[in-house]
Structure 1
Amino acid sequence: MIGIGLGKNKEEVIKAYNKLKEENIEVVLIEDYKTLIDKLLNKELSGAIRGSLPSSEVIPYLREKIGKFYRASILKNPFNNKLFLLSPVGIDDISIDKKERIDDKIRIIKYASNLLKKYEIEPKIGLLSGGRLEDRGRNIIVDETIEEAEEIKKNLKEYNILHYGILIERYLKEDCNIIVAIDGITGNLIFRSLALVAGLEGYGAILLSNKEIKFIDTSREANWKRYYNAVKFLLGEFI
């Protein structure tokens, strides 16, 4: 049984729920965020989708229960029609301190790579920074993001990591299946631009952590297909 949070945007969540029930998939709607998380962690549910419950309630409560985690949006690459992960996408997922932020991104790369390997997908990582590599010297903040990406790449030589600066389109054209954003705000903006504005197909945001928690974060602004897809992803039907 998979639980789906029911808050604002009820019509779209219920539409997804009805579609899943038509396919004889066991799902239940839950309106209280604590009940949703508690049932998941107590193994009364095999998986959970945030649905349209408020992130400001669900995410802090989940962190209180399981500790630190990151979120990676699952999106479909428009150039090859394959899935890729975009992380971080939570506005508070990673630290504002430079050293801690680098450590956060290293953990994201490791967790995301392990997730893909479970599905026998070879990770290929694209590290975003604030400008083209030849833009060094034009802006202090851009320089810092480029240096940060280079340091991460240097520390993870055993991984297949590309760093082309700001060129997200190049990463996707070259089949990167993990895109690491500069920070959670940047990642959230990329997600909203690709998914909620341009309509790129998506499946919610999977948790990345040292614990195996079958939970997918979804936007309150999503259409029914994204809630539906999130359940399907947990069931392994979109890999």
Structure 2
Amino acid sequence: MIVGIGAGGEPDKVARTVERAGSQVRIVCYCRPGAMDAYPLVEKRESECPWEALIADLMAGRIDAAVRGTLPANETLRCLKRACGVDHLERIALLETADGVRFLLAPVGVDEGWTVQEKLALIEKGRAIATSFGLSDRVAVLSGGRFGDLGRHPAVDRSMADAELAAHLGNAEHREILIEDAVKECGVVIAPDGISGNLIFRTLTFLGRGAGHGAPVVNINRIFVDTSRASPDYTGAALLAASMAKKKNP
């Protein structure tokens, strides 16, 4: 399997990823001319617009999967949407707590998961990914409070009503705001909205000593794993992308 990874900045992170994951998967770095010259053993493809080169090779099948790495989010994701013919991207992050509990979290983009319909799509796709990776297929839908908090604020009431409906229609479980209990039993956690999902992701990975293994885009027909540029490296994302590619094309 060939995994392409973007190197838009901080090339040491990408080089470290190649070093750590390279024995298990072939990795090709996409960068501007000269950006990776300090790493002569790294396989690279240079372009003035490396995000365009990465997406073009992914769509053409010249690589089996892609990882954003340190490429800029706006340009890369805009290019991916255009190439795949979609107006939005749905991402589900594979996270790991400090004590080794793994689960899928969505939404993780601030513009994702705001409606019941969007939550239902994430429930369905998250459950399928969880099953393929040996996680529990139970899905927890979170809301902005506990049942006893009803009436304290309209936004809380709305989030609880949406969670109840999404859980009912999606054969999932409304676990209120109790994420600490949900991850012990459920392989998929659906946050109340994209902002809270992004905050959960960032708090766990950057403050809570947990780990983020990348966020696959689940509403396109190619394997693309999104990443945070704040990550120390992208080994987990590269291996996740390779694993998904192998499952898709064994």
Partner in structure 2 of residue 44 of structure 1: 62
Contact kept in structure 1, 2:97 and 2:209, CA below 8 Å: no
Quick one: distance in 2 between partners of 1:121 and 1:172? Answer: 11
Partner in structure 1 of residue 204 of structure 2: 194
Q: Matched residue of 2:71: which SS?
A: coil
Please, which of 155, 180, 193 is the counterpart of residue 141 of structure 1? 155
Contact kept in structure 2, 1:77 and 1:172, CA below 8 Å: no
- Following superposition of structure 1 onto structure 2, how do residues 60-139 of structure 1 map, counting pairs within 5 Å? 60-66=78-84, 67=86, 68-78=88-98, 81-95=100-114, 101-119=115-133, 121-139=135-153
RMSD: 1.9
Unaligned runs of 5+ in 2: 32-49
**1:141–1:24 distance in 2 versus 1, CA, 3 Å:** closer
Q: Does 1:229 align with 2:239?
A: no
Partner in structure 2 of residue 218 of structure 1: 227
Unaligned runs of 5+ in 1: 96-100
Moved >6 Å (runs of 4+):
none
Partner in structure 2 of residue 19 of structure 1: 20
> Normalization by structure 2: what TM-score?
0.83
Quick one: distance in 1 between partners of 2:240 and 2:192? Answer: 26
Quick one: distance in 2 between partners of 1:84 and 1:24? Answer: 23
> Normalization by structure 1: what TM-score?
0.87
- Following superposition of structure 1 onto structure 2, how do residues 139-178 of structure 1 map, counting pairs within 5 Å? 139-156=153-170, 159=171, 161-173=172-184, 175-178=185-188
Q: CA deviation at 1:24?
A: 5.7
Quick one: distance in 1 between partners of 2:150 and 2:24? Answer: 55
Q: CA deviation at 1:235?
A: 2.6
**1:127–1:9 distance in 2 versus 1, CA, 3 Å:** same
What whole-Å deviation, never above 9, does each CA across 1:61-107 have from its counterpart, x for those lacking one? Answer: 2112221431111012455x342110000112245xxxxx1100000
Q: Matched residue of 1:91: which SS?
A: coil
Question: Identity over aligned residues, as a percent?
Answer: 30
